[in-house]
């Protein structure tokens, strides 16, 4: 029987985004405040995902052994380190979150049966790497607050209540929506990025957060004048709104996850032809916020 297990680790480290071949002005234009010397720091949280068969002791791996490997190969070397100098990999390529996930995979894969590396730079930004050449996944988490009503205009109030329950009440109700946008792309061998993080954030803010935040979706977002704004339909519409703007950043939109409440969430993928294996790509448990 194959199982996937996850081991969590953490370390605190600093880094700086600076390319010596660029001028100070060009560095600032590309990396913003991240160019400031001597750098800035993060409390990184790492999830190492591994797969294997259950042994006679009911384990995939002895977690004490896993802990020892991760400490020896990663956390003891990176904790309280200046990342740009600590490993040779980071002297050629900037230690971005996505490139760090790539490097951590290759530092651990000879010791552990890896299926995914997830690295949180902070609770609203993380990267995944699954061993697929130089392709990585980067997720930005954000939020907006909005109201909606679930009702089909051609049905009576009683009929809508039979389908949607309290959600059909005329004045609607609201949610603090949490949105996770995952993009994928090839890691640049010099910048360590799959896309400009600032451009990604602008695209999400411009096309989703600003037009959706503090609105009554049925009335303020034209699309939902004819489409019932269920969590599923909202996620699909966000995916469609972001597809082209994300592509313009150089990345590809991979997935949109919309969390309507602690009890309800939905995920939609950018391509309806995405393979089941891709859609079920292993993910570590979500980081607590």
pLDDT digits (tens, 9 = 90+) for 96-120: 999 999 999 999 999 999 999 999 9
Q: Which fold has domain 132-276?
A: Tetrahydropterin Synthase; Chain A (3.30.479)
Rounded CA Rg of the chain = 22
Q: Judge whether residue 285 has pLDDT over 80.
A: no
Q: Which fold has domain 1-130?
A: Tetrahydropterin Synthase; Chain A (3.30.479)
pLDDT number for residue 277: 43
Q: Judge whether residue 274 has pLDDT over 80.
A: no
Q: Could you tell me the two tokens for 84?
A: 């740009």
- The C-alpha angle with vertex 195 and arms to 275 and 25, in degrees rounded to 5, equals 175
Q: DSSP H helical segments within 17-58, as ranges?
A: 24-31
pLDDT number for residue 287: 74
Domain with CATH 3.30.479.10 in the chain: 1-130, 132-276
Confidence (pTM): 0.93
- What is the C-alpha separation between 283 and 289, in angstroms, rounded? 17
Q: Judge whether residue 10 has pLDDT over 80.
A: yes
Q: Judge whether residue 272 has pLDDT over 60.
A: no
The partner residues of 42 in beta bridges, in order of sequence, read 13
pLDDT digits (tens, 9 = 90+) for 70-105: 999 999 999 999 999 999 999 999 999 999 999 999
- Residues with a known catalytic role: 167, 214, 260
pLDDT digits (tens, 9 = 90+) for 155-213: 999 999 999 999 999 999 999 999 999 999 999 999 999 999 999 999 999 999 999 99
Residues 6+ apart with CB under 8 A from 151: 157, 160, 164, 168, 228
Q: Judge whether residue 281 has pLDDT over 60.
A: no
Q: Which of 232, 231, 210 is nearest to 221 (CA)?
A: 210
CB 256 within 8 A of CB 19: no
């Amino acid at each position: 029987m194959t199982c996937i297990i996850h081991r969590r680790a953490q370390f605190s480290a600093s880094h700086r985004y600076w390319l010596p071949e660029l001028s100070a002005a060009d560095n600032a234009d590309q990396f913003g405040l991240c160019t400031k010397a001597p750098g800035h720091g993060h409390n990184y949280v790492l999830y190492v995902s591994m797969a294997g068969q259950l042994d006679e002791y009911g384990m995939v791996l002895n977690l004490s052994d896993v802990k020892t490997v991760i400490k020896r190969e990663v956390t003891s070397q990176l904790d309280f380190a200046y990342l740009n100098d600590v490993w040779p990999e980071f002297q050629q390529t900037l230690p971005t979150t996505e490139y760090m996930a790539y490097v951590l995979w290759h530092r651990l894969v000879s010791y552990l049966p890896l299926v995914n590396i997830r690295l949180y730079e902070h609770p609203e930004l993380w990267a995944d790497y699954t061993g697929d050449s130089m392709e990585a996944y980067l997720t930005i988490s954000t939020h907006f607050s909005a109201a909606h009503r679930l009702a089909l205009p051609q049905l009576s109030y009683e009929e809508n209540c039979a389908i949607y329950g309290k959600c059909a009440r005329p004045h609607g109700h609201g949610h603090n929506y949490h949105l996770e946008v995952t993009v994928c792309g090839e890691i640049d061998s010099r910048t360590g990025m799959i896309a400009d993080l600032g451009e990604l954030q602008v695209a999400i803010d411009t096309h989703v957060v600003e037009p959706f935040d503090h609105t009554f979706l049925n009335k303020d977002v034209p699309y939902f004048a004819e489409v019932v704004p269920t969590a599923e339909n909202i996620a699909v519409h966000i995916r469609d709104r972001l597809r082209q703007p994300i592509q313009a950043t150089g990345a590809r939109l991979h997935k949109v996850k919309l969390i309507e409440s602690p009890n309800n969430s939905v995920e939609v993928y950018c391509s309806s032809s995405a393979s089941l294996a891709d859609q079920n790509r292993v993910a570590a448990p979500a980081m607590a916020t």
